[in-house]
Amino acid sequence: MATKQTRWAALLAALALLFSACGDGEGGGGESSAASAACEVGQVDGDLALYNWAEYIDPEQLDAFGQEFGIGATMTEYDSNEAMLPVVSAGNSGYDVIIPSDYMVGIMIDGEFIQPLNFDAIPNASNISDDFANPSYDPNQSHSVPYQWGYTGLAVDTAVVGTDFPRTWDLVFGDSVPADAAGKVTLLNDPRETMGAALKALGYSLNTTDDAQLDEARNLVSGSKENVLRFDTDSADELLTSGESAIAHGYSGDMFTQFLETDDPSRYVFFVPEEGGTRWIDNMAIPFDAPHPCTAHTFINWLLDAEQGAALSNWNYYGTPNKAAIDLLDDELNEFLTDPSVLPGGLSSVESIADTGDFETNYTDAFTEAVG
């Protein structure tokens, strides 16, 4: 009957579609990694489409860029590197500039999903602080420039916990959680961050690929569960200031902006525990098939300007990699960034998350097992 024929036709058409789609996707970037875009300083070749994390740039600053160069500037938001990756790698994403985190830059360079930058069009790259030059994930600094950086650590409500507490991971792991905070701890709903915190608490690297160490970390998280209110990434900051939680594992800038929205910001403190934590760097990069590469270069150069870099940090309250911008930061932000009590273990105690290849799934499973 007709239905039988059409069923077969449908199946064949579906397979044909599928394989043609796979064929496109397989090569990943496709474009050769050798050449960077031939652009001049300040040249624009169309409207800017920025693909960025939520609340990471002042919309007015974005408008200001568009007005200065007489083009439109729009932004779309994503909430994780993993959500951004497939959108860009599939091609035809239409984005000119993306903001991948450290380890994701490495992945995207290897997959040829981002193009090499033409530094002739980015003279302001000289403003990048030496601490951020040639990072491990982009050793020649050829494909990315730093955007903002921050720490992952603990935020504490001193009205509940008091001010006399150890600045260590013991605050959230094991038996030493303050009685007032029992059941009011939030940890990030992120395998790498939360397993990483436990690994740090145990004195290991947060990029370990050792199963025994990961097992130990899993048991630590699992054994601390009764004190955990929730594993939450999106609203850890709001839960803290609304009183649902008393100790929150979270990102520095998120916490700090949230503190400032309350009546009494001094009630809350943020720090990276002594044993260490995560320092991450988000970067600007250009997708391999960006429709307006020159606009993208111009935008990157513009944001690396001292004034614009400072405006960026003064709005999102993350650290700036721009050494020329530091003098222009708000006093309270500068105080926070340079306060030694924020990083009691010193710079050597923090690590950046690196891609562990196939071991990544071990982290996810360990975390799922720990959560229960």
Helical pair 252-260 and 331-338, crossing angle rounded to 10 deg: 140
Q: In the numeric block, which tokens belong to residue 322?
A: 């721009």
Q: For residues 301, 307, 309 and 315, what is the CA-based torsion angle, rounded to 10 degrees? A: -140
* Using rule CB under 8 A, residue 6 touches another protein: yes
Nearer to another protein, 14 or 35 (CB): 14
**Could you give the 3-state DSSP secondary structure of residue 21?**
helix
* Using rule CB under 8 A, residue 355 touches another protein: yes
Nearer to another protein, 102 or 190 (CB): 190
| Shortest separation between residue 129's beta carbon and another protein, angstroms | 30
Q: In the numeric block, which tokens belong to residue 72?
A: 């439109």
Question: Contact at 8 Å (CB) between 277 and 184?
Answer: no
Q: Which stretch binds another protein (CB under 8 A): 108-116, 130-138, 203-211, 246-254?
A: 108-116
Taking every pair of C-alpha atoms in the chain, what is the biggest distance, in angstroms? Answer: 80
CA angle, 57 then 196 then 228, to 5°: 90
* Using rule CB under 8 A, residue 25 touches another protein: yes
| Shortest separation between residue 228's beta carbon and another protein, angstroms | 5
Work out which of 92, 176, 341, 368 binds another protein, going by CB under 8 A. Answer: 368
CA distance 322 to 305: 8
Nearer to another protein, 315 or 363 (CB): 363
Residues between 116 and 145 that touch another protein (CB under 8 A): none
Closest by CA position to 298, among listed 155, 120, 154, 148: 120
CA distance 40 to 21: 36
| Shortest separation between residue 83's beta carbon and another protein, angstroms | 6
Radius of gyration of the chain (CA): 23
* Using rule CB under 8 A, residue 110 touches another protein: yes
Closest by CA position to 102, among listed 131, 154, 144, 50: 144
CA angle, 272 then 276 then 277, to 5°: 70
Binding-residue pattern over the window 76 to 95 for another protein, x denoting contact by CB under 8 A: ----x-xx-xx--x------
Q: Which stretch binds another protein (CB under 8 A): 51-59, 162-170, 289-297, 360-368?
A: 360-368
69, amino acid identity: F
| Shortest separation between residue 371's beta carbon and another protein, angstroms | 5
* Number of residues located near another protein, criterion CB under 8 A: 48
CA distance 361 to 363: 5
Work out which of 176, 243, 260, 307 binds another protein, going by CB under 8 A. Answer: 243
Question: Contact at 8 Å (CB) between 315 and 58?
Answer: yes
Q: Which stretch binds another protein (CB under 8 A): 22-30, 129-137, 140-148, 317-325?
A: 22-30
* Using rule CB under 8 A, residue 15 touches another protein: yes
Binding-residue pattern over the window 180 to 209 for another protein, x denoting contact by CB under 8 A: ---x------xx------------------
Q: Which stretch binds another protein (CB under 8 A): 32-40, 57-65, 66-74, 242-250?
A: 242-250
CA distance 130 to 112: 26
* Using rule CB under 8 A, residue 18 touches another protein: yes
Nearer to another protein, 170 or 360 (CB): 360
Alpha helix (H) residue ranges in the chain: 2-26, 59-69, 81-89, 102-110, 158-161, 191-201, 211-223, 236-241, 252-260, 293-303, 306-316, 331-338, 360-371
Nearer to another protein, 14 or 260 (CB): 14
Chain residues binding another protein by CB under 8 A are 1-3, 6, 10-11, 13-15, 17-18, 22, 25-26, 28, 80, 82-83, 85-86, 89, 107, 110-111, 113, 183, 190-191, 225, 228-231, 242-244, 355, 357-358, 360-361, 363-365, 368-369, 371-372
